[in-house]
Structure formats: structure tokens, C-alpha cells
Amino acid sequence: MFNIKTFIKRPSMQIDNLNEVIENPNRYFINIDDEIEIKKYNQYLDFDYINGAITIEYYNNLIMDFSLWDLVDQLWSYLIQLVEDVVQTGYGMTYFPDQPVKIEMKVVSKDLLLFALDEGEIIRELLPMQEFINALFKSAENFYSSFIAYFEREIDFSYELNKIKTIQEQIN
């Protein structure tokens, strides 16, 4: 049902046209699972500001695409905090790290979550809550674990990985 992927922006590519990015994402971004390609850019990556994109697709309906690229490690951290807020209170809201795009999540029933993305155009999707949260966490863990495996001396995401586990224990 869900297809959530993380991509790292190629440091050498400047983005001037979002339509070009959407049409040719592989020119600008590298899938986090492509270790060989990502490691080619090791010396060019700024580990304090990791640009990239998270794509979220639900039954072939693209909810978040490459046009919403940002500081991807921070965006994942914001999404994890957002889920924690939803688990604790039934509602959560945050903005992208480096642009005025608002994300909201609200529990609407025992099984459903309203996901809203306001980037000028408002996107609203009613999603199966548990499945969506599990898919988000699986993708976040994949991003953090991959980055640690690729660049263990450069970066530490153990806090984020532990936070995911803590939240999962609360909801399971």
C-alpha cells in the first residue's frame, strides 16, 4: 500500500526548476539504498545539512514528491516527533526544516489518520493509521541505519533510532 523512500540530493546538482526535478529525479537525487553511488559523494556531503527528499506514495497516489526536497535528516526527525505527538495527543503539526510547508496529522477514528500537507496547494489523505506509522518508521529506520552504515565515523543517528523504538513500544 505505502511506498516511502528517502533520497539524497546530489551535491553537484543545483535545482533551478522543480518541474525538471519531478520529470528527472534520478538526475538530482540518489536513493538511500544505492550505497555505491552515495559513497561517491562522501567528500562533498555536508553532514550538518543533508539535502534530500522523502517521497510518500499510497496506492500509486503520490502524497509527497521530489519538489518538496529539504534537509532530509531533519525532516525525518520532524516526522518522528510528529508521530509521537499524534500518539500522545491525537494531533501533531510541524513545518519542513527549511521551507514554509506545513504537515499535520490528526487521528479521526480508531484506525484512520488524516494526513495534510500544505505547500500552497493543500493535500489531504485519509490513511490507515497503524500501517502508515509503521511504513514511516520503517523508512526512517532505513534512512538512519543506511547513513550510519555508510558514514559511521561522520554521523550518529542513535538518538533518532532509539526514539523510533520508544514510540513503537508505546503503540504496540
> What is d(CA 148, CA 70) in angstroms, rounded to the nearest whole number?
20
Give residue 121's pLDDT: 83
Give residue 156's pLDDT: 86
Give residue 120's pLDDT: 79
Give residue 119's pLDDT: 86
Number of domains in the chain: 1
* Region 34-52 average pLDDT: 92
Residue 154 has pLDDT above 90, yes or no: no
CA angle, 126 as apex, 71 and 6 as ends, to 5°? Answer: 25
- E strands present in 21-155: 29-31, 51-58, 61-64, 70-71, 91-95, 102-107, 112-119, 121-128
Give residue 102's pLDDT: 97
Are 170 and 130 in contact by the 8 Å Cβ rule? The answer is no
Q: Count the neighbouring beta carbons within 10 Å of the beta carbon of residue 164.
A: 21
Domain span at 116? 2-171
Sign of the alpha-carbon dihedral angle for 3, 64, 124, 112 = positive
Instruction: Record the pTM.
Output: 0.94
